[in-house]
Amino acid sequence: MLKKQLLLVALLVMVVSLSTTGVMASGAGKQKNSPFLITKNLPHFTKLLMQQWENPDLQLTEDQRGKLLEVRKKTMAGAKKFGKEVAALEKKVIKGALGGKSPEELRSLVEQIAEVKAKATMLHLQCIYTTSNILDPRQLEVLKE
């Protein structure tokens, strides 16, 4: 009887351990780092446009579609590039911080992160500005709804 109880407890511990490991390995709860300084409240027009591309209320012309696709292509490529740069720099800061480096020793890396994030934010602002100039006021209202 005692052997069965011990076996049952061991089995339960193993199941719980495996399920916890699976959740941790799947990245649950992890948040993707943003390459931008302003991470909330600025619209992501290219994403919104892709979601509403065929919306009849938007009434995009073929000329607008071509221009908007170019803006999206340029913005996404830049954001991806900046995101990789930020991630690599952040890894160096984390490694240094956990390796005992002082904040002063890590300052230049932190400043580099800030510079890359500022460039990414300017790219985002340019995307908003350019998109706003391609769409007419009515289309912008439809997009913001």
Distance CA 87, CA 107 (A): 16
Which among 26, 25, 32 is positioned nearest to 90, based on CA atoms?
32
Provide the pLDDT for residue 143: 87
Q: Which of 89, 77, 91 is nearest to 123 (CA)?
A: 77
Give CA 56 to chain center in angstroms.
Answer: 29
- Return the pLDDT at 32: 66
At 41 the pLDDT is 85
pLDDT, position 96: 97
20: its two tokens: 């916890």
Please give the pLDDT value at position 6.
Answer: 38
pLDDT at 1: 54
Give the pLDDT of residue 33.
Answer: 78
* pLDDT attached to residue 17: 38
Instruction: Chunk the chain into consecutive blocks of 10 residues (it has 145) and report each block's average pLDDT, rounded to whole numbers.
Output: 43 35 39 81 90 94 96 96 97 97 97 97 97 96 87
Predicted pLDDT of residue 30: 46
